[in-house]
Structure 1
Amino acid sequence: MRTKWERRTRPHGRLDTAYALHYWSRLWVMLLGLAPVLVAMFVGVVEGTAVDGLFFPAPDYPAFTTLSSGLVIAAALLLAAAVISIPLPLEDRMGPRRVDMAWLALLSIVITLISLVLDDGRPEWLYWAPYIAVAMFATTAVLLLVRGILSALRVLPQAWRGSYRSTDSV
């Protein structure tokens, strides 16, 4: 039996690949997306230099980039996981379901937008990267929503349908 770490680092088959891509995109969003935003917000609140009016950062805040352009990588991984999982019925005993991927995409949009507002320090050649990340996360959410609606309407083939829990009979 393979461990979860083996499935995440050396996936076999499309199901393992979808779960591995989702895992790494989630880790990327949390560590390199949410963590810098939380640190920047905390420092700004403690120093009292966070905002210049509602929703606008003060000049020279934050003192470091929040890596908003790096979220393109997480968006690409999550979009790839969603595309790979389209014909698969996902089981949560191995990992997340499509609804978890959709919620991660929506959370990632929020994180990217907040990071974009705070991130004035990114290089000029990375100017469009956060916008591309938001578009990719939104595409993922829409793709998963459409796939869920088609599954609920029973339009998809029987082999594609389903998102069941490990406690259900298979």
Structure 2
Amino acid sequence: MVALLPQEEELDESNNQIQPPGFHIIFLPYANDLRKLSFKEVVRANPDQVDKAKQIIKELQFKYHPSSFENPYLKALAINKDDDFTDSTAPNVDRINSRAGALINEFKQIVYPDGYSPGAAPKRKVTGDTGARKRSKTNASEIDVAQMAADGKLTNLKVAALRSFCQAKHLSTTGNKSELVDRVKEFCS
């Protein structure tokens, strides 16, 4: 299924066609293509972090004028020289450190406290049995599918369990999960 978006013909000043008239084809998603997205909680900056960032920005502000910065590439082309040249557009790290170095270090300490590891997973509390447990796989023969159908809980089953039940009862095993649930409901009723 598609949506057609009309497009007008575009002409330039001398009446030459730039873009012809026609349609843009926009493919629409099927119901199976739509899914719910889960968004992780966004970490917000606390007021101390925001204030420290404002202080850093205030210290690093300067009056900008384009003539203050030469284009080193154009200058090298103009004098036909490929030697080393000074890039006046590169940040002056020494000047930044002299003006806001202490503030930047304080900001780093606020945002990244001691012991911070960016790739480390959060530590979980260990409770109860600390031994390794294997998750047992359940199949349709171990589950009372008829009871789950009566309780309206077939959607809690995995697709593999629904398919194995359908296979055991000589029902069709094709289709997505909602079709399998409907097939099992019809069989059990």
TM-score normalised by structure 2 residue count: 0.26
* Higher Rg of the two aligned structures: 2
Greater RCO, 1 or 2 (C-alpha within 8 Å, sep 6+):
1
More helix by share: 1
TM-score normalised by structure 1 residue count: 0.28
More strand by share: 2
